[in-house]
Chains A and B, each alone.
Chain A
Amino acid sequence: AIPLDFDISSPLTYGTPSSRVEGTPRSGVRGTPVRQRPDLGSVRKARQVDLHSDGPSEDVVATEQSLGQKLVIWGTDVNVASCKEKFQRFLQHFIDPLAKEDEDIGLDLNKPRYMQRLEEINMVGEPFLNVNCDHLRSFDENLYRQLICYPQEVIPTFDMAANEIFFDHYPDSILEHQIQVRPYNALKTRNMRSLNPEDIDQLITISGMVIRSSQLIPEMQEAFFKCQVCAFTTRVEIDRGRIAEPSVCKNCNTTHSMALIHNRSMFSDKQMIKLQESPEDMPAGQTPHTVALFAHNDLVDKVQPGDRVNVTGIYRAVPIRVNPRVSSVKSVYKTHIDVIHYRKTDSKRLHGVDEETEQKMFTVERVEILKELSEKQDIYERLSSALAPSIYEHEDIKKGILLQLFGGSRKDFTRTGRGNFRAEINILLCGDPGTSKSQLLQYVYNLVPRGQYTSGKGSSAVGLTAYVMKDPETRQLVLQTGALVLSDNGICCIDEFDKMNESTRSVLHEVMEQQTLSIAKAGIICQLNARTSILAAANPVESQWNPKKTTIENIQLPHTLLSRFDLIFLMLDPRDEAYDRRLARHLVSLYYRTEEKMEEEYMDMAVLRDYIAYARSYINPRLSEEASQALIEAYVDMRKIGSGRGMVSAYPRQLESLIRLAEAHAKVRFSEKVETIDVEEAKRLHREALKQSATDPRTGIVDISILTTGMSATARKRKEELAQALRKLIQSKGKMPALKYQQLFDDLRAQSDAAVTKEMFEEALRALADEDFLTVTGKTVRLL
């Protein structure tokens, strides 16, 4: 059916068709060479059958009676002419009503989409037309069905149609070869596991991960034979991988005289690729399935092992012949997919387009269930109690983690020069050993799709960020990503945060505020996205919580890092009788109830997971007027509390935290608007967490400055008082140029009522030195 105007039999030509240029300039549909499509298999010469003749009419389902055409391709219901006509109509008229894909950059959405694509081909000169099957389906259901069922016959027809239109419009265009149509996004199959014998020879789309790719294999397309006797030559096309070697020379009738001439045969590039189903699609406890792909011509080397791809292609099954001499055949087929189109799913990840919206598909019923759930009054409580039900109480912590799972709305301020605002919520859990911190972390890690779990003790800065490695096979340098990059758009759980060494922790500074990772190593300088929420767990320094000390003193983490956590929770052993009683009851019930009973009680983990995924990808709440007012008030209040005692205690970071928390809470309700109740809950949670972590044990007052300066306000006040006392003491001694260090210390101790340690004394001295009141040299203190 394809016009073969180009003379391949010329003895002068050799190599790929493009190099065989005859009359220049060539243009138009007649002048551009056809390139064979090995991806469609060796085209069985499409036999056309007239329906009125003796053809096997039971194979024909419906024909286009209206068009008066009776010819269909044998074994199908495809009528070439009508099929071509319909596809041309599709190309010329299709306008995508839902256009929003990132591929559409530079396209006018109100004009026929594929005509613009053809224009692009004319300009760029890449003769491939990618067609979204979804578009085709919305345009013509029947044509779509034909494409899915008989891709081998329909795609060449599409090729013809596209070329005719193209050369009508751009008769002077010069292309390497004729345009090939590449359909993608066939909805036939999504999952490798659901492939079954019915899919054979149909167009399918599956997703998976490339695990291995072979070397380039030259595959013979056409064999060239020459008679050894009379030098008569002939060409034989490969049919399903086999050459029918001519046994008799047609010219001189000598038997077995034909010899294959290798360098005059035609070859095409081919590559074998192994695709493994993605970990998300796999049922628990089973090993992943793999499927072989064959890529042809320019699709060779388009993907590398490790890439996540969506592959559209034709599913094939070929019988294995045991031995040509033995007639029995292994009754098993080998299956593979001839690739027509690749679409990488993770290449966009580095560009910052949120791809989750496209990826996670929800059925209509599922969405209904989720929406119904979101209407419930107590959805917030419900979800938080569904979170790690085996962990007892700690309601506020669970709520905090729940909000972290939802995250805030992502805001882009790149245009105003401030870059992205962080939408992720970071949480630090801190507390006694054995308060099931690790268990909570494990739970979260298991719940979120892109979670990473590391332990502070074992991880290095490199393991967290990224490192450059030499690939053992290709000897190329490759960038291997660490836990933080891998958990982009997910949650990175770091256990034993306090055991992490200083340099490793410093990496987190950038990640936790800017959400990026900069790498400069082995000549590779780059900035990777690491939009990850951090859920960290730390033990107190003295391994047991010391109630007499502040949080900071107990965990001894740099306050620059601490201020980057939106919520810091303490997990302490409450030592309260009522609590003990409830805990005991809870634990006892764990030990005899069966699994089914437990599941009934709580929300399914899968539902929770879907609920979160849905909210994360579809809900993007904005602040309402009242909510902004409430936030402003809250912030002003926070500032006021501090300013009462003469110092600032709330910083913009706290305001941002509040906003994030409020947004996350709105997401929980599936609300597009942040209302006052969200702000209230955010305030409450923030206060609860603060109350625990920022309470000055000496005064019992919540003091945010503990978090921001690492020192409580009272401690600071006391420091100042001591310095003043020291100044007074020195001044009372009258004009003396120098004082003995020890003497001064003893005097000060004698004077003040509270105990003064050496450190406190030195700090006071330093404070005075800062004021240029005195200098300390060795054991003497000089006044200035």
Chain B
Amino acid sequence: AQNVPNSDWEKKVTEYFKEKLKENNATNWVPSLNDVPVHYLKPNSLVKFRCMVQDMFDPEFYTGVYETVDLNTNARVLHFGKYRDVAECGPQQEIDFNSSKTVTSERQTFYCVPVPGESAWVKEISFLTELVLSRVSPSTSYTPSRHKRSYEEDEDMDLHPSKQKEQHTGNSRSGGDIHGCVEPKRLETEASAGHHLASTNCSPPLDLNFPLPGEKGPACLVKVYESWDSFKVNDVLEVYGVLSVDPVLSIVNSEERDSSTLDPMECMDTTEEQRVHSPPASLVPRIHVILAQKLQHINPLLPACLNEEESKTFVSNFMSEVSPVRAELLGFLTHALLGDSLAAEYLILHLISTVYARRDVLPLGKFTVNLSGCPRNSIFTEHIYRLIQQLVPASYRLQMTVENMNRSRFIPRKDYAANRLVSGVLQLASNTSLVVDETQLEQGQLDTTGVRNVTALGNLITWQKVDYDFSYHQMEFPCNINVLITSEGRSLLPSDCQVHLQPQIIPPNMEEYMNSLLTAVLPSVLNKFRIYLSLLRLLDYSISEEVTKAVEEDFVEMRKNDPESITADDLHRTLLVARFLSLSAGQTTLSRERWLRAKQLEALRKARLQQQKCVNGNEL
């Protein structure tokens, strides 16, 4: 069907899809690999995928244009090879590689995984919006019967939020399990995946290389055709492209092994490398990207791009009701933190913090909070994490036990045998909440891995970077992760600010108390919280000349009175608190009042620490 090669057509393709996807919510009609199991999707159809770039493979050369020769008639036909994995030709045809019309082009493969630690509500909500729309105009690739069933289930859940919550808390007994409410259809995916694996019966189960343990969902080989230099490891992308699950791709592995040993390509890759780089398409589908965009956030309640005109109205609408939302959120968190409103205040500041700039090596805007004074060996910290999980789009709870530190892999490491980046817990997308639970830590010895892991965690907190291990050298990957440390005393990890918890109420049954807290919140209010936290993080901020002066005066004054205890660090911290305090109230400039309030908060916090020190001193 294709005619003379014409470079213009490639541009037109992307243009066309860009335009089409802009039209009335068209993006929602495209089935998403995040929600629909691969085997329900039609091969070679348009799909989308919300994912994180976990690894980048070497660029590959493919036949952009190739020519086939019919063996009988000798007729020559030109084909395009873009957006495909396999160069097709009919049964009586052969590809002429020596043809002068062959064009070799280049594309880049990314290994993508679903956003690590993505909260269950993010998955649910984005799935629901799609379902509602796709019922109006069913996409070609769904099987309607199945589709209906899952919809009803979800509807059912939606009608009885309390039931859902129960299910949720009941499911996730262990703290590390993020995906408490696994939908039944997901279970089916795994079952079928297992089946596929059994049918190829060649190798042990493939490690899909998810950064976090216990993650589920499809991993995907994303083939990018243009400007792949603009993407980085750990970027969160939304890609639209052609799904390719040609079973031929899977055959490659098993057949190649027993084919002629004289194939020069045979010895090039180890079997491991082959397994990793061309896994069965049923497990790791390929997407040939037509459009790819980096996501600022993955909150489905917010418009994807905040700079557009329509989203501006959304923002201004929401900003008008910021104060009541903040008050409600503060109340909610205060209850959660057993009536400690100061800690709740700091928790809000922490949750909207983000690294907004880097000044040479210094990351600005990180706000690691150490919540000390948490009761030891209680389910309190677990519940705090569960609350945060309900509020932020992506999170992970890291239980800091000696065993965990010694056993788990924190730093991603390059495996040269398989030629891939083996992921680690610290390979997380921007703005993921990492809750480190230090109350679990017992006395014990850390081995080499343990020490390295603790150091890596410390570096992450101080410099917001992770040094990936490339065996012969290390490479620095900047990151932007909100770390909250819960501990009994002062944490052994560095932190920007320590808040000592002062519970006002001791509930007789912690479990019940916490559960009732969550059920008491209306879903609509919960959604407001979610929008609030994601949106405020993205706002700009400035300080006027006038306030700068005032701050200067203040600092000089404070130093005069007490040069010992007020240092540049304190000023740093107070400025940070002031920044997030202003932003949390929806204000993008610092006012004098906020500055004073920030100072007041800091004073309260410090007084508490001082008091704590005294108490400890007396005990000793």
Contacts and interface: CB of A to CB of B under 8 A. Distances in A.
Interface stretch (A326-334, A497-505, A724-732): A326-334
A676 to B, nearest CB: 34
B193 to A, nearest CB: 23
Given A211-B472, A330-B86, A588-B575, A322 B552 contact: no
Contact of A585 (B62, B419, B548): B548
Given A209-B472, A212-B416, A333 B60 contact: yes
A211 B265 CA distance: 19
Given A323-B251, A434-B567, A594-B357, A274 B416 contact: yes
Contacts of B572: 587
A214 B46 CA distance: 41
Given A209-B472, A285-B478, A580 B357 contact: no
Interface stretch (A286-294, A377-385, A629-637): A286-294
Contact of B104 (A317, A328, A434, A575): A317
Contact of B233 (A197, A242, A286): A286
Contacts of B88: 328
Contact of B262 (A196, A243, A439, A584): A243
B556 A580 contact: yes
B492 interface: no
A604 to B, nearest CB: 11
Interface string B103-127: 0111000000000000000000000
A40 to B, nearest CB: 14
B258 to A, nearest CB: 11
Interface stretch (B201-209, B359-367, B381-389): B359-367
Interface string B84-107: 111111110111010000001110
Contact of A329 (B86, B451, B476): B86
A460 to B, nearest CB: 12
A335 B66 CA distance: 18
Given A331-B85, A442-B463, A584 B571 contact: yes
A195 B106 CA distance: 10
Interface in A374-428: 388-390, 392
Contacts of A594: 357, 540
B155 interface: no
Contacts of A283: 229
Contact of A320 (B265, B364, B419, B473): B265
A305 B81 CA distance: 36
A584 B555 contact: yes
B575 A583 contact: no
A150 to B, nearest CB: 16
A82 B282 CA distance: 57
B62 A588 contact: no
Interface string B460-480: 000100000011110111100
Interface string B53-64: 001101111110
Nearest to A582: B552
A327 B96 CA distance: 11
A241 interface: yes
A412 to B, nearest CB: 31
A322 B86 contact: yes
Given A197-B61, A333-B61, A327 B360 contact: no
B575 A587 contact: yes
B94 A390 contact: no
A663 B287 CA distance: 58
A305 B473 CA distance: 12
A46 interface: no
A306 B56 contact: no
Interface in B388-433: 414, 416-417, 419, 421
Contacts of B548: 585, 588-589
B359 A598 contact: yes
A209 B414 CA distance: 14
Interface of B is mostly: mixed
B61 A317 contact: yes
A217 B268 CA distance: 11
A272 B421 CA distance: 21
B620 interface: no
A320 B252 contact: yes
B419 A332 contact: no
A322 B85 CA distance: 11
B615 interface: no
Given A241-B262, A319-B63, A330-B87, A588 B560 contact: no
A239 B342 CA distance: 77
A741 interface: no
B417 A212 contact: yes
Given A319-B97, A332-B62, A439-B362, A584 B552 contact: yes
B60 A285 contact: no
Interface string B261-305: 011110110000000000000000000000000000000000000
Contact of A595 (B104, B106, B357): B357
A446 interface: yes
Contacts of B552: 581, 584-585, 588
B364 A590 contact: yes
A197 B106 contact: yes
A138 B225 CA distance: 38
Given A211-B472, A322-B255, A329-B95, A196 B362 contact: no
Interface string A586-616: 0111111111001000000100000000000
A598 B358 CA distance: 10
A715 interface: no
A270 B260 CA distance: 17
Given A288-B470, A290-B58, A332-B60, A327 B94 contact: yes
A355 interface: no
A65 B575 CA distance: 78
A589 B473 CA distance: 36
A272 B268 contact: yes
B362 A328 contact: no
Contact of B86 (A217, A290, A331, A434): A331
B392 to A, nearest CB: 23
A220 interface: yes
Contact of B360 (A288, A326, A388): A388
B268 A580 contact: no
Contact of B559 (A242, A330, A575, A590): A575
A444 B196 CA distance: 53
Contacts of A660: none
Nearest to B266: A241
A197 B105 contact: yes
Nearest to B364: A590
Contacts of A276: 470
A446 B360 contact: yes
A238 B263 CA distance: 11
Contact of A443 (B81, B106, B361): B361
Nearest to B468: A287
B59 A289 contact: yes
A284 B233 CA distance: 9
A331 B66 contact: yes
Interface of B: 55-56, 58-63, 66, 81, 84-91, 93-95, 97, 104-106, 229, 231-234, 248-249, 251-252, 255, 259-260, 262-265, 267-268, 357-362, 364, 414, 416-417, 419, 421, 451, 455, 463, 470-473, 475-478, 540-543, 548, 551-552, 554-556, 559-560, 563, 567-569, 571-572, 575-576, 579, 590
Given A327-B90, A327-B91, 13 more contacts: A322-B251, A323-B251, A328-B86, A328-B87, A330-B85, A330-B248, A331-B84, A390-B360, A573-B563, A584-B555, A592-B579, A595-B357, A598-B359
27 contacts: A197-B105, A211-B471, A211-B472, A219-B264, A288-B475, A289-B58, A306-B472, A319-B97, A320-B265, A327-B89, A330-B86, A332-B61, A333-B62, A335-B60, A389-B359, A390-B362, A580-B559, A581-B552, A585-B548, A587-B571, A588-B543, A588-B551, A588-B575, A590-B364, A590-B575, A591-B579, A605-B360
| The 10 residue pairs across chains A and B that have the minimum distance between CB atoms | A285-B232, A390-B359, A241-B264, A331-B87, A584-B555, A197-B104, A333-B61, A584-B552, A595-B357, A592-B543
